[in-house]
């Protein structure tokens, strides 16, 4: 049985109230490509998840030229050159920042997320203060050097 996520008002916009018993993704955001769907997704998150997601998004925009954004599987995805590099998803109590080819970056991010692929690695952030921007920017740059194309052959 699926649980409906109740909406509450916050800062003039609808925000999602994360259920304590919830174990999955924090958003029912529909899949869509582009900046606006990601900005809309982030705007629906409660604090502190919204603040963390905003910082990750801002750091990605500052770090990666020609950044591409999309919402996939209820999370924000970031990529370059037609391939995907990392995702940011809000969950109860934290935001997961996951690098699709995380086993290929140095130092390897510490968290191996469940159900995200054998090479995915990331970090779980409970507050903005836990975001090591210098380290995360390094991981973003490394992942952008070898984006994931979802089985498509890369054109050279």
- Whether residue 156 has pLDDT greater than 60: no
Helix (H), strand (E), coil (C) string for the chain? CCCCCCEEEECCEEEECCCCCCCCCCCCCCCEECHHHHHHHHHHCCCCHHHHHHHHHHHHHHHCCCCEEEEECCEEEEEECCEEEEEEEEECCEEEEEECCHHHCCCCCCECCCCCCCCCEEEEECCHHHCCHHHHHHHHHHHHCCCECCCCCCCC
Lookup: tokens for 52 = 């963390």
pLDDT grade for 26, boundaries at 50, 70 and 90:
low
Higher pLDDT, 81 or 17: 81
pLDDT, tens only, 36-75: 999 999 999 999 999 999 999 999 999 999 999 999 989 9
Q: Are 138 and 99 in contact (CB under 8 A)?
A: no
Phi-psi region of 150 (alpha: psi -120 to 50; beta: other; left: phi over 0): left
pTM of the model: 0.80
pLDDT at position 85 is 96
Start-to-end CA distance of the chain, whole Å, equals: 47
pLDDT, tens only, 130-154: 999 999 999 999 999 999 987 544 4
Chain length of the chain: 156
| Mean pLDDT computed over 85-102 | 95
Architecture of domain 9-16+28-144: Alpha-Beta Complex (3.90)
Q: Nearest Cα to 42, choosing from 64, 58, 63?
A: 58
CA 77 and chain centroid, separation: 6
Higher pLDDT, 89 or 150: 89
Domain ranges (residues) in the chain: 9-16+28-144
pLDDT grade for 18, boundaries at 50, 70 and 90:
very low
* Mean pLDDT of the chain, nearest integer: 84
């Amino acid at each position: 049985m699926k649980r409906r996520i109740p909406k509450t008002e916050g800062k003039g916009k609808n925000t999602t109230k994360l259920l304590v018993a919830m174990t999955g993704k924090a958003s029912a955001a529909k899949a869509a490509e582009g900046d606006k769907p990601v900005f809309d997704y982030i705007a629906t998150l409660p604090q502190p998840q919204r603040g963390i997601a905003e910082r990750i998004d801002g750091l990605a925009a500052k770090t990666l030229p020609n950044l591409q954004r999309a919402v996939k599987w209820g999370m924000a995805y970031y990529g370059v050159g037609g391939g995907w590099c990392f995702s940011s998803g809000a969950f109860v109590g934290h935001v997961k920042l996951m690098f699709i080819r995380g086993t290929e970056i140095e130092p390897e991010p510490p968290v191996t997320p469940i159900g995200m692929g054998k090479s995915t690695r990331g970090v779980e952030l409970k507050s903005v203060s836990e975001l090591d921007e210098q380290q995360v920017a390094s991981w973003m740059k490394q992942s952008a050097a070898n984006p994931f194309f979802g089985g498509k052959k890369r054109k050279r």
